[in-house]
Amino acid sequence: MRPDRHRPRVSILISVVLAAGALVGCAGGGDGQADETGPVPVGSVSHVHGLGVNRGDGKVYVATHHGLYRVDRPGRAAPVGPRQDTMGFTVTGPDRFLGSGHPAPGTAAPPHLGLIESTDAGASWATRSLSGQADFHGLVYAHDTVYGHDATSGMLRVSTDKRAWDDRARVAAADIAVSPADPDTLLATTEQGVARSTDGGRTFASGNGQVQLLLAWPAAATLYGIDPGGTLSRSGDAGATWRAVGTAPGGPPQALTAVDERRLLAATATGVYESRDGGATFTQLLPLSE
C-alpha cells in the first residue's frame, strides 16, 4: 500500500482520468486522422481507450478516439474500419470484437453507440443493443456474458445475449474486471481503492485502500493492476493484496490488457508497450502522439 501522504494525489489523478475520459469520449469532430486509409505516420495515433490481440490474425489492435488501428509491425499501424470514437473495446474471439463509444464525425447516428459488434476484425460494425442509450467505457466478455460499465449512468450492466440487459450497481469506477473462475466476482477501480462484488455486480464493498486505475485478470490467481503513475502490480488473491512487478514506460496509463499470465499490453502517454515476462520489462510496439 502507498504511504498515506500520496493518497490525495492518487485520488486527484483518478478524478482527472475519469473526467478526461468523459470529455474526450464525448467530444465531436476530428483532427484529420479520420480520413486516412493507409498506414499512419509514426507517432500519429493517440487517445487510446482499449487494446487487444485478435486471435484471427495474431495482430495487436488499438482502440482510440479516432478509430481502430492494427499494429502490423513495431512502429507501424493501419486504420481499420470507421473512424468512430471507440471507448469500450474487447476481443471475444477470432476476428470478433465488442465495442462502444460514439460515431465518427458527420455520421447520422445517435451520440452513443450502445453495444456494437464486429465479426470481421473491425472492418465493419453492427449495433447489438442500447443505441443512443449507453456509452460503455469498460467492457469485459467472460463466462459467455458481457459486463459493461456505462459512463452515461455509472451503472454496471450485464447481458448474456448482447441484447437484453440487467442493470446492477452504480459505481464510480475507472475500470472493471471479472474473475475468470467466478462470474459473480467482480472488481472495480475507485478513488477509495479496488472495490469487490461477490454477487455479480449487484453490490460492491468499499474500496480496499490500494488504488489501481486499470485492471487485467487473465487467470484466477493472476490479476494485474496499474496505478495512475504507471506502476504495475500483481495480485494472487483477487486483489486483496498487491506486489509491484514493474513500471510501464511513459507515465499515466491509458489502457491495459493481459493476453495471458505473462503477456501484457499497456498504453501510456508515449506509446503502446508489450511485456512478455509478466510486466518486469516492456518494449514499445507503437509510439503515440500526446
Sign of the four-CA dihedral 132, 129, 199, 21: negative
Is residue 157 a part of any domain in this protein? yes
Pairwise CA distance, residues 257 & 192, whole Å:
22
Ramachandran category for residue 132: left, alpha or beta (phi over 0 → left; psi -120 to 50 → alpha): left
CA distance 177 to 192: 16
**What pLDDT does 105 receive?**
86
**Quick check: is 35 in a domain?**
no
- pLDDT value for 290: 65
Number of domains in the chain: 1
Q: Of 165, 167, 159, 208, whose CA–CA distance to 183 is shortest? A: 159
Is 203 a domain residue?
yes
Cα→Cα distances 144→101, 162, 183, 238, Å: 22, 10, 9, 21
Residue 231 inside a domain? The answer is yes
Q: Enter the DSSP assignment of 40.
A: B
Tell the residue number behind the cell numbers 447520422, with chain if given: 108
- The list of the chain residues with pLDDT below 50 reads 1-38, 42
Q: Is residue 146 part of a domain?
A: yes
Q: What is the dihedral of CA 272, 48, 125, 113, to 10 degrees?
A: 160
| 166 inside domain | yes
Q: Is residue 154 part of a domain?
A: yes
CATH number of the domain residue 247 falls in? 2.130.10.10
Contact 257, 139 (CB under 8 A): no
CA dist., res. 282 & res. 143, Å (int): 30
Give Cα 76 distance to the centre of its chain: 21
Q: What are the grid coordinates assigned to 261, written together?
A: 499470465
Strand partners, 96: 93
Q: Which of 257, 259, 229 is nearest to 50 (CA)?
A: 257
Task: State residue 249 phi and psi, 5-degree precision.
Answer: -65, 150
C-alpha cell at 178: 471479472
Report the distance separating Cα 133 and Cα 190, nearest Å: 24
Distance, CA of 158 to chain centre = 17
User: Which residue carries 508489450 as its cell?
Assistant: 274
Confirm whether pTM is higher than 0.95.
no
Is 34 part of a structural domain of the chain? Answer: no
- What residues contact residue 9 under an 8 Å CB cut-off, 6+ apart? none
| 165 in Cβ contact with 174 (< 8 Å) | no
- Model pLDDT, residue 194: 98
For 220, the domain range is: 4-25+40-287
3-state secondary structure of 20: helix
